[in-house]
């Protein structure tokens, strides 16, 4: 990742928890928050990926910690938040980047139920669980910034990806509902809705589907992890104080509403 535009002290004395931090967008956001002097708990189901991610980050002014956890397990989320508060005194930022694609070229007639349930469990139920305990933790201080990862597929629907598109539409509804629930606190809840971003998740797509989705982006290219991290870091900064329950587009011109 390039650190060209970092704001050196933006996250000084702030504590962030990032799920899915072992790869892709979660890794890029973790790196940027730590480069901007924050403490980041990097959480992922894949411990080996976390080790490798930590190695790629190198020296940063902030503090990085690792936590193996499964976003679909309520006890994992609850314990991680409690441990974070016990160790660091508070939790300011939670960013939900854990996610899976599931089938990417299966129309519903061929889409098996167990895959559908699995994609909803990780992407939507996992976001519910982590956000629920994030809110309970942040209410102790009355301040917080929560970011969820939706997708343009949740607004438009990507054919062949019923589970993924449904899960991301669910994340949009979740964000809009709970943003209003806590709008009279200093806790904001927002989501990003990116088009295709160049990450390992994108590489796992069916190749024809990847070129189809890239072709739908007017800028004619995939987004980069740096571009997502730059936007995400603004949304979770203290400066972003008048947006909640919002779905922010990041789509190279694909989103039209």
Decide if residue 44 touches ligand NAD (CB under 6 A). Answer: yes
Decide if residue 175 touches ligand NAD (CB under 6 A). Answer: no
From residue 213, give the alpha-carbon distance in Å to each of 110, 171, 202, 231.
21, 20, 10, 21
Looking at 34-42, 155-163, 174-182, 192-200, which segment touches ligand NAD (CB under 6 A)? 192-200
251 phi/psi in degrees, rounded to 5: -135, 15
Strand partners, 17: 41, 94
Catalytic residue among 111, 133, 143, 164: 164
- How far is it, in rounded angstroms, from Cα 202 to Cα 13? 34
Q: Tell which one of 47, 173, 200, 218 touches ligand NAD (CB under 6 A).
A: 200
> Under a CB-based contact definition with an 8 Å cutoff, are residues 232 and 147 in contact?
yes
Decide if residue 23 touches ligand NAD (CB under 6 A). Answer: yes
Encoding tokens for residue 127? 């976001």
> Under a CB-based contact definition with an 8 Å cutoff, are residues 154 and 174 in contact?
no
Q: Which of residues 209-248 bind ligand NAD (CB under 6 A)?
A: none
Decide if residue 22 touches ligand NAD (CB under 6 A). Answer: yes
DSSP result, 184-244: TTEEEEEEEEE--BSSHHHHTS-HHHHHHHHHT-TTSS-B-HHHHHHHHHHHTSTT--S--
CB of 142 to ligand NAD, least distance (A): 28
Q: Where are the beta strands (DSSP E) in 57-142?
A: 63-68, 93-96
CB of 186 to ligand NAD, least distance (A): 26
> Under a CB-based contact definition with an 8 Å cutoff, are residues 72 and 125 in contact?
yes
Q: For residue 164, indicate whether it is catalytic.
A: yes
CB of 23 to ligand NAD, least distance (A): 3
Decide if residue 25 touches ligand NAD (CB under 6 A). Answer: yes
Q: Which of residues 127-146 bind ligand NAD (CB under 6 A)?
A: none
Q: Which of residues 56-85 bind ligand NAD (CB under 6 A)?
A: 70-72
Q: Which of residues 94-113 bind ligand NAD (CB under 6 A)?
A: 97-100
Decide if residue 41 touches ligand NAD (CB under 6 A). Answer: no
DSSP letter, residue 158: -
Q: Which residues bind ligand NAD (CB under 6 A)?
A: 19-20, 22-26, 44-46, 49, 70-72, 97-100, 122-123, 126, 149, 151, 194, 196-197, 199-202
Catalytic residues: 164
């Amino acid at each position: 990742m390039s650190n060209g535009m970092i704001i050196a002290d933006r996250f000084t004395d702030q504590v962030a928890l990032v799920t899915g931090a072992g790869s892709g967008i979660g890794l890029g956001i973790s790196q940027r928050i730590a480069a901007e002097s924050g403490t980041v708990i990097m959480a992922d189901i894949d411990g080996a990926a976390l080790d490798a991610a930590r190695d790629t980050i190198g020296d940063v002014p902030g503090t990085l910690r690792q936590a193996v956890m499964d976003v679909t397990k309520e006890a994992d989320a609850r314990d991680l938040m409690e441990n974070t508060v016990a160790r660091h005194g508070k939790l300011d930022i939670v960013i939900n980047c854990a996610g899976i694609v599931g089938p990417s070229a299966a129309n519903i007639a061929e889409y098996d139920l167990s895959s559908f349930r699995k994609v909803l469990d990780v992407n939507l139920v996992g976001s519910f669980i982590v956000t629920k305990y994030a809110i309970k933790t942040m209410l102790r201080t009355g301040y917080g910034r929560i970011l969820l990862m939706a997708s343009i597929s949740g607004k438009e629907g990507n054919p062949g990806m019923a589970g993924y598109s449904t899960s991301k539409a669910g994340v949009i509804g979740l964000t809009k509902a709970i943003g209003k629930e806590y709008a009279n606190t200093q806790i904001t809840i927002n989501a990003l809705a990116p088009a295709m971003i160049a990450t390992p998740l994108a590489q796992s797509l069916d190749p024809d589907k990847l070129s189809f989705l890239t072709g739908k982006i007017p800028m004619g290219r995939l987004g980069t992890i740096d571009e997502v991290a730059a936007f995400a870091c603004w949304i979770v900064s203290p400066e972003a104080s008048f947006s909640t329950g919002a779905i922010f587009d990041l789509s190279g011109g694909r989103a039209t509403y």
